[in-house]
Amino acid sequence: MTRKIPQIICALFGMTLFLLYFSQHPTARNLNLTILNDYFQIIFAFTLLVGVVSFVKVNLKAFERGEDRSYHLVSVIGVFIMPLLAIIWGIKGDSPFMWVFENIQVPMQATVFALLAFFVASASFRGFRARSVQATILLAAALIMLLSRSTIGDMIADQIPQIADWIRNYPSMAARRAILIGIGLGSLTTSLRVMVGIERTWLGGDK
């Protein structure tokens, strides 16, 4: 019974939302709007709560075990400080919340993201080798793309941007389309399997 009820709710809402998406009837559109604006937001609030509780539990357990205590402490303090700042002073304009966001979070995230450039440079030296024909083709394509996305490519030869466009418009796009179609068919199949109850892993397995 504990598995049947969630399955019935899932199938019912899945079918309802599917039908509502295609219906132009005013009642259907109003119902759709209510579900999108109210139900989805309530679900989001609960998932957020689950995420926060799980994050705090994991970090506190790690703190108790004595692993990298300072990092876990900063993480937990951050989780509580930000909502506190938001509740007391709000999140708009020149609030302390925005100050922390703009002067701590944005530079930190940008720094971490920028570090990728250093790892790419290191990986290009140590791992990007012309070991086979396929690797050589990949390497040549990478060099052309790198040149085309800098200003030097245009200066060296007019053909470099043209070759880069050809790579993007033919081999790259063919692969991308295949992936997109695969994802689409996969999503459709999985959704149907969940709705009709064949796929039950989201309930914790087949037992």
Partner 1 sequence: MKKLESRHYVFLGLFVVILLTMLLNVRLEIRVSPETQKMYNYIDSLPEGSVLMVSFDHEASAVPEIKPLALSILRHAFKKGHKLIGVSLLAEGTGIGYRLMQETAGEYNKVYGRDLVYLGFKPQYIAAILSMGESIPETFPEDYLGRPYTQFPLLDSVKNYDNVAGVISIADGSLTTHWIEYAHARYHVPVTAAVAAVMMTTYDPYISSGQLHAMVGGLRGAAEYEKLLKIGGSGRRGMLAQTSAHLYVIAMIIAGNIVYFLRRNKRVKS
Residues that bind partner 1 (CB under 8 A): 21, 29, 32-33, 36-37, 40-41, 43-44, 91-93, 98, 101-102, 105-106, 109-110, 112-114, 117-118, 120-122, 124-131, 139, 142-143, 146-147, 149-152, 154-155, 161, 168-169, 172-173, 176-177, 180
Q: What is the DSSP letter of 30?
A: H
Closest C-alpha to 147, from 156, 138, 139: 156
Contact between residue 128 and residue 142 where contact means Cβ atoms under 8 Å apart: yes
Q: Which is nearer to partner 1, 60 or 163 (CB)?
A: 163
Contact between residue 192 and residue 180 where contact means Cβ atoms under 8 Å apart: no
What the block records as the tokens of 62 is 């790690």
Q: Which is nearer to partner 1, 62 or 141 (CB)?
A: 141
CB of 151 to partner 1, least distance (A): 4
What the block records as the tokens of 168 is 């993007």
Q: Which is nearer to partner 1, 60 or 98 (CB)?
A: 98
CB of 63 to partner 1, least distance (A): 26
Q: Which is nearer to partner 1, 37 or 201 (CB)?
A: 37
C-alpha 34/C-alpha 120 separation (Å) is: 47
Closest C-alpha to 55, from 36, 78, 32: 78
CB of 91 to partner 1, least distance (A): 7
